[in-house]
Structure 1
Amino acid sequence: MAPRHSGLWVSRGNAEMALDQPQPAAASYEQACQCDPGNADAWVGRSRALFKLGEDEQALDCLEKGVALDDKPPFLAELMRYRQKQARWDDLPALWARVLAQLDEHNAYSMAFPMLAHPGATGADLLRSARACMAAERAKLPRPLPARPKPPEPVPAPAAGRPLRVGYLSGDLRDHAVSYLLVGVFEAHDRSAFRVIGIDACAKAVSDTPMRRRVLAAFDESIALGRCTPEEAASRIRALRLDVLIDLMGATGDGQAGVPLLRPAPLQVTWLGFPGTSGMDEIDYILADRHVAPPGSEGEFSECIVRLPDTFQPNDSQRAISPAVPTRASQGLPESGFVFCCHNNTYKVLPGMFDIWMHLLHRVPGSVLWLVNDGEHVWANLRAQAARRGIDGGRLVFAERCAYGDYLARYRLADLFLDTLPFNAGTTASDALWAGLPVLTQTGRSFAGRMAASLLHAVGLPELVTQTADEYEALALRLATHAQELAALRQRLNQQGRASALFDTARLTRHLEQALLTMCQRQQQGLPPQGFDVPALPAA
């Protein structure tokens, strides 16, 4: 009826993307671009489909065209994220300034995650961004929104009555970092006091892997939301008659991240999947610790802060490392020479930290920097950036993606893990520590920038937490040039690390359970949510 109507082609592409069909979606958006080259939504939609298809270079070019036509904040945030992802750093400072200046204007949910890697954003900025995102998301939902549900029945002490019904909402109950961290907690819950319910929010088909089977087997019951509206998802969760819903997605959620806005449970908690505030008034608590949410940071969160005593991050003490450690030569690393390592995603690697890393390569002869291979264009851009700083691009080595156990074993080839800022390593840091590789971090100004500090304190290596860029560079240089000092740190990590609080799954689970009981007891007493610190169990 209207084959030259650009907006209709965009709508078709949006529908195909919602059905996880990026190939036809890309074709639909391309038609929209041909019908009206001035349609910014068509160019941005096409870029999103191409990113899904792995055509990153072409996708970024389309995104640039879309932003040139309409520089609204969500488009700018996407451009920032994908320039960082591809290490295309020209004009980044100007882009960062534009994003920060428009933080409160016509915000969208898609901005929340990219903002974690914005080097100029404080914790207060991230709260403003999250609140604006949630306001836009809330406006899409039916009116009036549901009131806070009443508890399904009085919540007695577990020994005297029924177990608390705790639901875990996640789109990552599969081979994903969230499951690698949490599966041991699901298994370790005290079944006399808690009934553990999995709520699978993944809308795509998921492979039947050993991790997927282990996660699902750890739940007392589970449901799969599949492709449903937030209203349908909330209704199905409400039917579970939960006492507490723990949202493990936040702004990483694909399609169901706004479900807590509909209040399907009487108490709602955010944890782990998104390292920061949700910006939702409907979420009562965030699980944190004294490092990621230090006293005085309450103004950075829309939730009440519950501080776990050791660390915010759970870990599975059963994660297996492949017994065969590859050779350095097989990974493209030199047989001798110091190996600095950072296996964080490339979007976390920013020019300021890269400058420090290049200083280190210059001052440590024969050293290399071992990074993740995020594609040919990415490593070409990073090598070009190294060359601009007077470093041979060949001293940057790129690790291919591989099976999880092999990836852990590979850390044993490196000498020192260099963390990123403002978005620290989370799971990646605990992976390195589990494999016996010391991690050096600099503390940032937000939850996401303080994660590695939490892990290093919990594993017993607080001296590897620095406060300034100068301290970070000086300590990295010292460790790279004083072999005995680094060897002593590594020995401590290998002797004590796995017995530390960071990897004590049962201990963290007991602390988590105490937190949940306290939340529910407050509610049953008619008290509003209020932050508190969970008392530490005696050391083993």
Structure 2
Amino acid sequence: MNKNVSVSPAQRTLQQAWNAYNAGRYADAHKLALTAKRSGGSMPDACYMESLAVAALGRNAEAKQLTETSLKRYPGHPGLLGLLGSLEISLENYATGAALVEKSLKLQPNASHLWGMLGTAYYLSGDYYGARLAGEKAVALTPNDPIAVGNYASSLRESGSSVEAIPVFRRACALDPLHRINRSNMLFALLYDEQIGADELRREATDWAETLRRTPIAAGAPLQPSSGERIRIGILSNDLRRHACAYFLIPLIANIDRTHFEVHLFSLSGVNDQVTMKIRMYAEGFHDVSKMSEADVVKAVRAQNCDVMVDLGGYTGASPLQYMVHRLAPKQLTWLGYPSTTGMKEIEYRITDWTGDPAGYDGNYNEQLLRAPVFAAYHPIVTSPLQIYERKYRVQQTPALQNGYITFGSCNHIAKLGPKTMRLWSAVLKRCPDARLLVEAAGCERESVRDMLRERMEQYGIDTSRVEMIPRDSSMQYLTYNRIDIVLDTAPVTGGTTTCDGIWMGVPIVTFSGNTFHQRVSAPFMQAAGLGELICETEEQYVDMACALASDAEQLNAIRMSQRQRAEQSDMFDAPRFTAWFEDQVIEMCKEYKPLTQPRESRREGVFFGGQWYPVEDLVMSVAAHMHLREYVPLQNVLENLTSTWYRHWMVAFGLAEIKYNNFQQEEAIELLVEAIGMRPYSLPLYRKLALWLDEQGLDKSALAQLLDDQFGLSLEMLESSPPPTAFEILGIELQTTGSDANTSAEEVAA
């Protein structure tokens, strides 16, 4: 016999609120939740629905405050605990959020969405093993949820099980064939399978590009070229922040000649960190489109009338390609962010070079290949550009000379530590029984992650008692290389930025070069830096090369102490040359609809910063004037801007030496002046300045005397008979003034 169940009006209203919420009518759900609260007295579920609806409306700060207030009244409510945890995670408070979600899951262990949220918190905080376990739980509870399956696949990839992640990504894509992030992540995961070649990568990318193309979208007004004489370059990216792309993007956009071009940046990420602020200074326009719908992004970007649009992400993260398939500019190209083809006919060009994509590789791509001297120019990024001159970033002797054993090392992401990498490392360590291995990676601060890596290494015969694992620490990004004698590159996906970091710090790198670009990313930089013989084409050659380097610590040290200088003088660091090449390509591709009205004059080098273009010769004059007037704060600002063009230059070292000498850091100042002389060895005024400082500090000048005799056949006495040089004389600038007018002229120049 059925009993009639009495349902209060407040409960009926709350059920209506849930129905509205599940239908996506969040404003209605919010109103109904408030009604239920007013009529129902003590109803924790009504408070939960109110907070949930407010969060769904995008008012996270308000939702968090409401949830915290409700939890004080109902401290054990599982929904409120889970919601507050989710909100904390969305605010990037991962540890706080994860603890709350874990507490909620103890009360409702079958809440699959919370397992997914917990996995996200672990993933974003670098605990890939924890993310993997949480992802397994979420998928077990909701096996047909494409988001849960896709997140689990991502955690597999990021924890180093990249090959195992591919079928899971395929399953997620089958559940929702139009899910953007899952499909992009799958295309990226394919790069980690050494059995998948260029043909399959191109087929997969082309298939997804065709799917994206069929997605209807109201694109707005027809494309129009920019008005005025200058060509407008647009760059669309999810990575205009502290990200590997910044090491290559800043040197390009800072050097683009603003007499003929302008730069507009479009950010798909809401992150606005210190690097974002720096990047913004080098562009005429910065447009945050991260909160817009797909159609609105297309309209907003098109409205800027860019002549060329650059994809800086490819199939990674919030892919720019899902917008560029609808064509955002008359000409579109891909660069830097993704080491394979986009598969899109709407992307006409791809920037590469002859080492990364040798002759015969054109068939790997839908795009036309534009081959630069090196596909990107690299500048190291530290807190301030001028810190690259600090003592701690100088190349040190190879540690084996002190340790008595070789330390191989890797500073790459765990995702790259897959089967091929393990095979190579295992073979090297077996051949070098006294050597050690240092692995630096995000997540290694957790014992669970270290245990996972140890287990994987042991499966490949690596003695983990010889392996040290350390967490990634941004303050140690370059300094960790001081502990490494030889970098063992990863495969099939090689290092990129980490390869450049290692080269800059003087550490030789042994790399495996395969038959697709993603297997050759290290090679162009190594070739430019004079390390071509360390680029290996077989696994046997890789092992032989690593062991040969390890057999002679003195020779290893000789390579190390000369490597940075060779690299700095190469195309790898030559941002002005790469930028000039890039400008020529842009002019050529735009000539049909944006022809130059007059022949282009010789390119003037300079830096764009804070909305203004500064020719290099003006900056040099400004340096001299600020030195002459002892204006060291503005001098430092000018030197920072110059570093964007002249990554490492004798004049910047000299300017820094002046600043430090006058700030009572004489020892460091003299070291910097010696460094400037090393970069400009035939400048007698620099030697005269050094002699003056050595005198003032009461230091021995015999080494200087010997150097003068060897270099010029000149005695120290003869050098010191000349008057101390002015900053203008050292910089080779002649002022057409005499007497008291010199200061007036210097003040005018500084202004």
Which range, TM-score by smaller chain? 0.7 to 0.9
Indicate conservation of the 8 Å contact 2:233/2:308, yes or no: yes
- Offset of 1:62 from its aligned partner? 3.7
Within 5 A, what are the aligned runs for 1:80-229?
81-87=154-160, 106=177, 108-142=183-217, 149-152=223-226, 162-204=229-271, 206-207=272-273, 209=274, 211-229=275-293
The answer on whether the counterparts of 2:157 and 2:163 sit within 8 Å (CA) in structure 1 is no
Deviations for 1:76-111, whole angstroms, at most 9, x for unmatched residues?
Answer: 775554334324x5xx76665776899999372332
Alignment-derived partner of residue 471 in structure 2:
400
Deviation at 1:58? 3.9
Amino acid at match of 2:366: S
Paired with 2:430 and 2:17, the residues of 1 have a C-alpha distance of 59
Shift of 1:495: 3.3
Of stretches 71-80 and 476-485 in structure 1, the one that deviates more from structure 2 is: 71-80
Tell me whether 1:370 sits opposite 2:438 in the alignment: yes
Structure-2 change in CA distance of 1:239 and 1:62 (3 Å) = same
C-alpha deviation, 1:17, in angstroms: 11
SS of equivalent residue, structure 2 residue 477:
helix
**Residues 150 and 168 of structure 2 are in contact (CA less than 8 Å); yes or no, is this contact kept in structure 1?**
no
State the alpha-carbon separation in 2 of the partners of residues 271 and 255 from structure 1.
Answer: 13
Q: How has the CA–CA distance of structure 1 residues 95 and 430 changed in structure 2, closer, same or farther, with 3 Å as cutoff?
A: closer
Q: What secondary structure sits across from 1:174 in the alignment?
A: coil
Q: Give the corresponding residue for 2:132.
A: 60
Do the aligned partners of residues 48 and 302 (structure 1) sit closer, same or farther apart at CA in structure 2, a change above 3 Å counting? Answer: farther
**Higher mean Cα deviation, 18-27 or 251-260?**
18-27
Distance in 2 of aligned mates of 1:422 and 1:112? 15
1:139, 1:53 → 2: CA distance?
Answer: 36
SS of aligned partner of 2:338: coil
CA–CA distance in 1 between the matches of 2:120 and 2:429?
36
Larger of the two Rg values belongs to structure: 2
1:46 to 1:473, Cα distance in 2 relative to 1, 3 A: same
Alignment of 1:350-369 (within 5 A): 350-369=418-437
Cα gap change, 1:431 to 1:492, in 2 (>3 Å): same
Q: Secondary structure at the match of 1:262?
A: coil
* Matched residue SS, 1:355: helix
**C-alpha contact (below 8 Å) 1:458/1:500 kept by paired residues:** yes
Residue equivalent to 1:385: 456
Structure 1: state its 5+ residue gaps.
Answer: 154-160, 526-540
- Rate the CA distance shift 1:246–1:32 in 2: closer, same or farther, 3 A: farther
Instruction: Give the alignment partner of residue 280 of structure 1, picking from 344, 356, 359.
Output: 344
Alignment match, 2:315 = 251
Alpha-carbon deviations, 1:460-495, whole Å to 9, x = none?
211111111111111111111133443343344133
Aligned to 1:293: 357
Residue 104 of structure 1 contacts residue 132 of structure 1 at CA under 8 Å; is this kept in 2? no
TM-score if structure 1 supplies the norm length? 0.80
How far off its partner does 1:280 sit?
Answer: 2.5
Cα distance in 2 for partners of 1:271, 1:319 equals: 27
**Equivalent residue, structure 2, for 1:266:** 330
- Give 1:421's match in structure 2, choosing from 491, 494, 497: 491
**Of 531, 542, 557, which residue of structure 2 is paired with 1:472?**
542
Once the two structures are aligned, what percentage of the paired residues are identical?
25
Q: TM-score, normalised by structure 2?
A: 0.59
Indicate the SS of the match to 2:494.
Answer: coil
Measure, in 1, the Cα distance between the counterparts of 2:102 and 2:348. 40
Aligned ranges 1:230-241 → 2 under 5 Å: 230-241=294-305
Tell me, what secondary structure is at the counterpart of 1:441? strand
Cα separation, 1, equivalents of 2:395 and 2:568: 24
Alignment partners' CA distance in 2, 1:2 and 1:60 = 36
Question: Within 5 A, what are the aligned runs for 1:486-505?
Answer: 486-505=556-575
After superposition, the CA RMSD in angstroms is 4.0
1:308-343: CA deviation from partner (whole Å, max 9, x where unpaired): 1x2112212767445226999xx9x99332111111
Residue of structure 2 in register with 1:312 after alignment:
375
* TM-fit CA distance, 1:373: 3.6
- Deviation (angstroms), 1:191: 1.4
Report deviation, 1:385. 3.1
- Asked if the contact 2:240–2:267 (Cα under 8 Å) also holds between the matched residues in 1, the reply is yes
